[in-house]
A and B are shown apart, each in its own frame.
Chain A
């Protein structure tokens, strides 16, 4: 029986890239549909009517939205190369850090990356969250231990997008000096054999952020 596995994403979205990483890690073939967010396809609106966002994931006619919900679905459906640990405590920990990254880290990092009111305060909050992650990583190669897991996948923005925003804007949030473990982790992650195939082109991403920086810096 031909299995339908479809992902609606955007080349530069860390959220849809997360799903691609998980599928690739598990060796699952899928059809990828690149969305134009300024002109959303009827299919995207059909598969994610509530939020109308990417990623939207379809498996044998069933549609799922929200990247972390999709990741858990993928882990439960394709049981090889698990991205969550087996034990309930380990799973709770992984979910906690994944949730922390999405609820606290990413919003703070994104805000701190661009000119804004109270910029120093915003940057301080971002730095505090990076420190929390640095402490959580300890001496592990990945947040998942020896292998890439849910938390690493959810932290993809920190490993790959953030350094490129920094290159584009001159912002300095994640530095090797301040966060040596996190920095090293980022390096391992982006060079991981499977992960690196599912990251957006570096130059294209930097150019995108340069454009954004120019437009937010000049608009009043």
Chain B
């Protein structure tokens, strides 16, 4: 099927979802660790518009943007489908993936990196967006149904990355009483071997978010 390479970092939640997808499909790939403070010519050439990870390299072509990469993987390797077959189910999965990336991730990060009144406001918005996701799990073990699917991979940052953000930010968003389904889903998700295999060490993430959140808070403190 042609060589597959993934330009990525171990810490990036956007890269993790691609590793999960490739493993889910049993596709062998070469992992190329990128240093984002010193971007390689390969990355700059493969993702000229955004210069970001992840980028998938396959058959001499490069594919940036994680959600687009997921769809590409699903279309090239058709066994073990990630997206549902039915168009309206596919539309729902895509809708919630977009919602998760636009509202949930940045909402949660916003709540974790701010302080005081700003944090209170951001927390409310983050909780609201998590509530929408909670609802999507009603009657299901995974977002994909009985098995893992596209949306599980997209939202798969929650168990580890959100936990770390919360710890550094000194805030709890995913409370078990409030989000029992998401809580249970998180446990089930992390039990899956191919998921666990691609998780970065928690300490690495702690350092990363410590630096990032401190930086954001110091910037905010400087503003008049």
Query: For residue A64, which residues in chain B have a CB less than 8 angstroms away from its CB?
Result: 88, 91-92, 95
Q: Is the CB of B72 within 8 A of A91?
A: yes
Q: Is the CB of A91 within 8 A of B75?
A: yes
Note all chain B residues with C-beta closer than 8 A to A91.
71-72, 75
Residues on the B chain within 8 Å of A66, using CB = 94-95, 98
- Residues 75-129 of A contacting B (Cβ, < 8 Å): 76-77, 88-89, 91-92, 95-96, 99-100
Point out the residues of chain B lying under 8 angstroms from A217, CB to CB. none
Give Cα A95 to B68, complex, Å.
7
Q: A62 vs B95: C-alpha distance in the bound complex, in angstroms?
A: 13
Contact yes or no, A96 B94, CB < 8 A: no
- Return chain B residues, CB-CB under 8 Å to A44: none
Main secondary structure of the interface of B (DSSP, over half): helix
B75 with A73: CB separation less than 8 A: no
A69 within 8 A of B: yes
Considering the complex, which residues of chain A in the window 44-85 have a beta carbon less than 8 Å from any beta carbon of chain B?
50, 59, 62, 64-66, 69-70, 72-73, 76-77
In the complex with contacts A66-B95, A69-B95, A132-B49, A99-B72 CB distance below 8 A: no
- Write out the residue numbers on chain A whose beta carbons fall within 8 Å of the beta carbon of B64: 96
Q: Is the interface of A mostly helix, strand, loop or mixed?
A: helix
Residue B63, interface by CB 8 Å:
yes
Number of interface residues of B (CB under 8 A): 22
How far apart sit A154 and B198, CA to CA, in the bound complex (Å)? 35
Answer whether A69 and B98 are a contact pair too, CB < 8 Å, given A92-B63, A100-B49.
Answer: yes
User: Do residues A92 and B72 form an inter-chain contact, with CB atoms below 8 A?
Assistant: yes
Contact B71 A69 (CB under 8 A): no
CB distance from A167 to the nearest CB of B (A): 30
Q: Is the CB of A76 within 8 A of B87?
A: yes
- C-alpha spacing A99/B90, complex, angstroms: 18
Which of chain A's residues have a CB closer than 8 A to the CB of B132?
A: 50
